[in-house]
Structure 1
Amino acid sequence: MNFIEYSKQYKPKINQVIGSIYKRKIEAVDNVFLKEYYTELQSYFLAGGKRIRPLLCIATYMAFSDSRDDKILTPCVGTEFLHNASLIHDDIIDNDEIRRGEPSFHYRYRQYHQKYNLKKMKAEDFGTSIGIIGGDSAFFLGLEAYLNNGFSSNLNIKGVDLYKKAFIEIANGVLIETDIVNKTDLTMDEYIQMISLKTGALIEKSILIGAVYAQVEEEYLKSLSTYGMNLGIIFQIIDDILGTFGDEKKTGKPTDSDIKEGKKTCLLIEALNKLSDERRNRLISIIEKQNITDEEVVLVKQLFKESKADVFCRELAKSYYKEAVEALDRLKGVIHEDELEFFETLLNFVAEREF
């Protein structure tokens, strides 16, 4: 079963579990604002998203299990809560107003402040405050997926341990990203370390959570981990390219935000390493500015093309693609054919995606 078919089968079920978790939370509170808050958080979750992480978790479980029991959906949905929690906080850090073509969570509450003409706090501060809490709420709601889900407490403890490790690694990746925003002498190895933590870790742990519940033998975990980490690295490299050269209608995000925020993307790091001193200094003078103009964004994109950074990053993604394929090859004859096809076609989708 390919990625698209797998997604059509399980994505509605994933969304149903997300909705049921929020339904219980909304019913459990008796304050009007809290009901509105959890309803808004639910709306944010269900507004879009590929659900790659829970799909990977489900597919791993099914790949090794003779059971096709849907009870695996609940612990796997925990990974989607953790992912969205990190996105909510990420949008605050980056001051991004758009996520998946809709207002980011904290920006929704800036709009809420303005709509009701609230007198206390600035709209920006109000939105940021609710956004921080929103991310925190999502982190901990995700943990509820590992309680009373039909699996043994021993397996749930292992699931929570992986959830915790993913949380810590994501945080470490964001910390490194925040630190390097002011640096211009970065190596590609430093970039890979950062995205391995920020993006790769949760994709890898989503697979390993599925493996925990399927009680996969130790000898296969390394191949699963290698596939997941390389998939995550590819995802982020392609994300960097689309963040500058993608179609805004498809990605749901503006193609100038990474440049205006001075994000250390694959494109920027490669351009800084390959441009002549004169052109490199021009690039640095732009990205170090607080307010980058639209004309300067166009120039930065030209410098990326001039240095062939986009070509390099595509080739870099291909090298990690090769490692992921080799990891899957080691699992042939071990995992079910439907899930092998899912893993293969998902890898191709991530490497070739336009959104």
Structure 2
Amino acid sequence: MKKATLAVAVLAASTSAAWAQSSVTLYGILDAAVRYTTNNNGAQKQLVPGGMSESRLGINVTEDMGGGLKALANMEHRLNSDNGSAAATDFWRQAWVGVQSNEFGQVRLGRQYNVLFDLYTSTYASFRYSPYIEQFKPEIGLSAGARQSNMVKYLAQAGNIYGEIQVSAGEGTSPADKSIGGLLRYNDGTFGFGGAYLQVTDLLGKKVKATTIGGSYTSGPLYVNLSWGQNKFDAGGQLGGAFTGALIKGYNGLPVLNAAANDVKKRDMIMAGFTYQLTPQLNLGGQYWHAQQTHYTPALANTKSKGDYFAFVADYAFSKRTDAYLEADYTKHKGAVAFSNGATKRGGTMVGVRHRF
């Protein structure tokens, strides 16, 4: 009996020691805002599930295996804070496992953010305190879906230089899940700049080739950014509508833009903006996006459609975790592209609260 008790005690001690090398972190964001939108089949008033950030619940796992090696895992679910439903058909918007070496970098396997999204949000994000506005994020529309499934990603850093390479096999039924690409960036805390390329192949073998390059400057309370992005679509592909839909936030599953917007041969976008920390609690920011699009349809072959997008945000931090914000945005289209109701202009404003944990 004493021997059995001693064995159980030794096992418990060794188990506790092993667990002491691991950490499991629960994190999340809850964000909700009251939004008013013009020219959306009349004026629309609604509670939107995430104004500045999409609400989420995630789990990060890290295990120190010794010898400079760590095991990593992440699962992240996105949800609608207005009614508690899932924000997408894929319950886990991220789900990956990986290994990190102090000497050789990191390898991740599973569904995760792609290199375009990583560069946009880390190196020349629209706002210093929030990478983008969830309800108004034209630049994310050029990030080729932002995530891919079945991905193998390699990440490495040497001093101020950081790089990623991704390959996803496209084993499933999604037309956006076969990809290859990479990014390279430099950041010394003041200057940040980089570029990325990603090629996505749909189920018909048609390709979308996406490129972005840009930079940012940070000095005390001031942050400024400038970047360019481009998507080139093969004729007859499946992803023109899917990637176009991400340009403008939609509601209730209804189309936001007209059919001509989905007929895209090439789309270019330039974006520039700033954030200024007026006080320790108050941040002010503005962003401008200009997009140009060419078409495949013969009747539109000589038409160059354009879009201008503006946004302004005032964000007040009550604490390190909780902030309130006031946002205003404006969209204007020219050429063949318009909103689904035929309007070419639309304005919006919202007031919201966000809590991070």
- Normalized against structure 2, the TM-score is what? 0.30
* Bigger relative CO (Cα 8 Å, ≥ 6 apart): 1
Larger Rg: 2
Higher helix share: 1
Higher strand share: 2
